[in-house]
Amino acid sequence: MPYKEKEITKRYYTIGEVADDLGVATSLIRFWETEFDIINPKKNRKGNRQFTPEDIKKIKMIYHLVKEKGYTLHGARDFIKNDANAAMEKIDMIQSLKNIRGFLTELRDSIQRS
């Protein structure tokens, strides 16, 4: 039975890492933190924000609603308030589809190189 290495995942991410992942400025993440009460990162002794993977999922949901779907901040807040679970499931599905698309693109490219 071959040894399978565990994938290491971080418990906390910096605001810079989150912003880079989404391709936005850190100031936008801080702004959304004030606008949406679902974003509550821990802060360390220095006051630096520490985002969990769950926090990042919520930020990605807001990103999707505001940046990709064109919701206003008020509209996004209402959407989240009325059906946050459905929104999170939709975001999870979109992320899964993006992962599949990336895999298929890599597969196509490797076949074309052969």
pLDDT digit string, tens, across residues 27-71: 999 999 999 989 999 999 999 999 999 999 899 989 988 998 899
Place of tokens 């290491």: 8
Region 15-24: mean pLDDT is 94
* Phi and psi based region of residue 47 (left: phi greater than 0; alpha: psi -120 to 50; beta: remaining): left
With beta carbons less than 8 A apart as the criterion, state whether 79 and 65 touch: yes
Query: How far, CA to CA in Å, does 20 sit from each of 6, 13, 71?
Result: 25, 11, 22
Region 66-84: mean pLDDT is 89
pLDDT value, residue 95: 81
Q: Give the integer Cα–Cα distance in Å for 56 and 22.
A: 10
The answer for residues whose C-beta is within 8 angstroms of residue 12's C-beta and 6 or more apart is: 42, 50, 51, 52
Domain ranges of the chain: 15-113
Q: Alpha helices, DSSP H only, in the chain?
A: 15-22, 26-35, 53-63, 73-113
Q: How confident is the model at residue 5 (pLDDT cuts 50, 70, 90)?
A: low
> Domain 15-113 falls in which CATH fold?
Multidrug-efflux Transporter Regulator; Chain: A; Domain 2 (1.10.1660)
Reading the block at residue 30, the tokens are: 């801080």
pTM over 0.85: no
